[in-house]
Structure 1
Amino acid sequence: MKLITIIGARPQFIKAAPFSEEFRKNNQEILVHTGQHYDANMSDVFFEELGIPKPDYNLGVGSGSHGKQTAKMLEGIEEIILKEKPDGLLVYGDTNSTLAGALAASKLHIPVYHVEAGLRSYNKLMPEEQNRILTDHISDMLLCPTQTAVKNLSEEGITTGVVNTGDIMYDTVIRNINISEQKYVNGKWFDELVKENGSIRKLNEKEYYLATIHRAENTDNPDKLVNIFKAFSKLEKPVLLPLHPRTKKLIEDLEIDFSNIIIIKPIGYLLMLYLTSNAYMVVTDSGGLQKEAYYLKTPCTTLRDQTEWVETLINDWNVLSPTDEDSITSTVTRKLTCFNHPQPDLFGDGHTAKYICEAIKKGGI
């Protein structure tokens, strides 16, 4: 089978690693990088660390408005489909790259496989939610990470081609956590931070918050951004913040107290995995990091009103927080009761890549 796979953003690189390895054992994969994430620290390093094959095509789209970015991707992907004549096209998640790939294939009557199908936050103001819904409704096979996702699709009338494969990000975490721990043991993780960022405040394991802020619903609202950083400045532990290039640009003109915030450059997957595993708590608006924190048994606070990963909320392993200063402070400093409860097995068994390949093969394409 010949399959085109579309990737373009950090979470998709993480998901692509185990699938590409499994699929290429018996099939041909054409890897297309849209260039949605183009910063070396958010792209190249993931290919190196996770052993992802070099992309066959890189569209180099870069940043831009949703319409401009998606249009450039759509044009480029269409040309590749016409040239390569694949048996199908696979997309991951909920980015503009996801939607562009699915649209291009669907209009050319090429079967679309959507990994991470069926997620819903029920907030259509989020561009990610729009991308999810549109992609699901034009996909031929919907490869769901959880039973909740299967149920969401059923409620929208989508029942054909739906398979619960488990979450492919869980595969990647299981494959790499021991590698990460071995690489950064005995303080080497802090040495790496200093090497990349210059002298920074000394940090100890389990004595820092790990934060990421990049969702448009937070970053495009200056009042929200200021409130988030005000709350961070009041916490009793330092906040380690790998800063997304887009967020960095947006905070340049804001009056923010950074006294308790350690800003560092975006980091690779293995170091991020280690920092997540060894943080006191993760504070984020990222869907992927919510899950990684859950898998690594690190408490999480999500700075959003909804989450598409509702399973992580069970037993307060993850707690949603409004983005006003008092709510953030209260939620982040809550008493941690999650450790009193075992985590239910809701995201599969770590062999999702295998199950996806089996589902595609069984689909009879």
Structure 2
Amino acid sequence: MKVLTVAGTRPNIIQEMLINRLFKQRGITEVLFHSGQHYDYEMSRKFFEEFGLPDPDYHLSVSSGLPCRQIAEIVTGTEKIILKEKPTVTLVHGDVNSTLAVALASAKLQVPVAHIEAGLRTPFFYNPEEINRKLTDHLSELLFPHIREAYDALMKENFSPENVFLVGDVVKDTLLWVLRRYHITPTLGDYCLATVHRYENVESLERMTEIVDAFLESGERIIFPVHPLTE
């Protein structure tokens, strides 16, 4: 078996770490490629190094851009890789643009798609991730929801139970691995951890001002690692 896996963003890389190790243990060939969607070092290369992941076999380097243009570039690049590698199945993670692009290219070339973190749903139809995850689910032959709510959502949309597997959260698995690896004992802290990176927030000075004002008014000690997009 040969699996073609895309890891285009930081969450994808985190999700991929343990899966890559399991593939090696079971003698499954994995072709790993990076779409370049997250091109900042701190959000991409650093995670490959810290998690001991192999260098990607392919790197598309599409970088940032308008979403349709970015998706089109990844589809075109993925098509070339699939035609060369002839994978048995394509593995995609999450709900980013890379996820949808690789699923679309695979389906067009009649390569089965396996979707990790399938089935998440929100009531916001035009949310970019909502569009990506819905379309990816419907392009996939194997769906791996990580929580019961996601599994139930797929059942409500009439996906075949034979193709849906409730497997748990690979991000949580990675977190537990890190805690064991570095002998970290979680304790209740006296602070809040905040992250702000959604496009509709960081591209609006008014919204960012409201968010920062809310931090200040909360009276809490807040640790705020700033996302590159937020900078």
Query: TM-score, normalised on structure 2?
Result: 0.93
Tell me if structure 2 keeps the 8 A contact 1:112–1:141: yes
RMSD: 1.7
Unaligned runs of 5+ in 2: none
**Distance across 1 between alignment mates of 2:181 and 2:30:** 26
Match of 2:164 among 154, 162, 165: 162
Counterpart in the other structure of 1:82:
83
Match of 1:217 among 195, 200, 205: 200
Counterpart in the other structure of 2:99:
98
Match of 1:176 among 175, 178, 181: 178
Counterpart in the other structure of 1:200:
none
Unaligned runs of 5+ in 1: 186-204, 249-365
Counterpart in the other structure of 2:6:
6
Q: Give the secondary-structure state (helix, strand or coil) at the position aligned to 1:213.
A: coil
**Distance across 1 between alignment mates of 2:79 and 2:228:** 29
Give 1:124 shift.
Answer: 1.4
**Distance across 2 between alignment mates of 1:164 and 1:181:** 29
**Matching residue's letter, 1:33:** H
Counterpart in the other structure of 2:211:
228
Q: Give the secondary-structure state (helix, strand or coil) at the position aligned to 2:129.
A: helix
**Distance across 2 between alignment mates of 1:110 and 1:102:** 9
Q: Give the secondary-structure state (helix, strand or coil) at the position aligned to 1:24.
A: helix
Q: Give the secondary-structure state (helix, strand or coil) at the position aligned to 1:242.
A: coil
Give 1:81 shift.
Answer: 0.3
CA deviation string 1:20-79 (max 9, x = no partner): 100122110000100111111111111111111211001111111111111111111110
CA deviation string 1:283-311 (max 9, x = no partner): xxxxxxxxxxxxxxxxxxxxxxxxxxxxx
Q: Give the secondary-structure state (helix, strand or coil) at the position aligned to 2:230.
A: helix
**Distance across 2 between alignment mates of 1:19 and 1:178:** 17
Give 1:143 shift.
Answer: 0.9
Counterpart in the other structure of 1:153:
154
Following superposition of structure 1 onto structure 2, how do residues 64-143 of structure 1 map, counting pairs within 5 Å? 64-143=65-144
Give 1:9 shift.
Answer: 0.6
1:19 and 2:2 equivalent?
no
Q: Give the secondary-structure state (helix, strand or coil) at the position aligned to 1:174.
A: helix
**Distance across 2 between alignment mates of 1:150 and 1:89:** 21
Counterpart in the other structure of 1:240:
223
**Matching residue's letter, 1:209:** C
State the identity as a percent: 43
Give 1:247 shift.
Answer: 1.3
**Matching residue's letter, 1:116:** E
**Matching residue's letter, 2:212:** F
CA deviation string 1:323-364 (max 9, x = no partner): xxxxxxxxxxxxxxxxxxxxxxxxxxxxxxxxxxxxxxxxxx
**Distance across 1 between alignment mates of 2:38 and 2:21:** 22
**Matching residue's letter, 2:136:** T
Tell me if structure 2 keeps the 8 A contact 1:126–1:217: no
Q: How many residues align?
A: 228
Q: Give the secondary-structure state (helix, strand or coil) at the position aligned to 2:82.
A: helix
Q: Which protein has the larger Cα radius of gyration, Structure 1 or Structure 2?
A: 1
Q: Give the secondary-structure state (helix, strand or coil) at the position aligned to 1:163.
A: coil
**Distance across 1 between alignment mates of 2:96 and 2:70:** 11
Q: Give the secondary-structure state (helix, strand or coil) at the position aligned to 2:152.
A: helix
**Distance across 1 between alignment mates of 2:10 and 2:183:** 21
CA deviation string 1:126-177 (max 9, x = no partner): 1000000000001010011122111101111112411111111121011111
**Distance across 2 between alignment mates of 1:207 and 1:147:** 32
Give 1:91 shift.
Answer: 0.0
Counterpart in the other structure of 2:57:
56
**Matching residue's letter, 1:50:** F
**Matching residue's letter, 1:238:** R
**Distance across 2 between alignment mates of 1:222 and 1:93:** 28
Give 1:181 shift.
Answer: 4.9
**Distance across 2 between alignment mates of 1:174 and 1:53:** 21
**Distance across 2 between alignment mates of 1:209 and 1:63:** 30
**Distance across 2 between alignment mates of 1:15 and 1:139:** 18
Give 1:208 shift.
Answer: 2.6
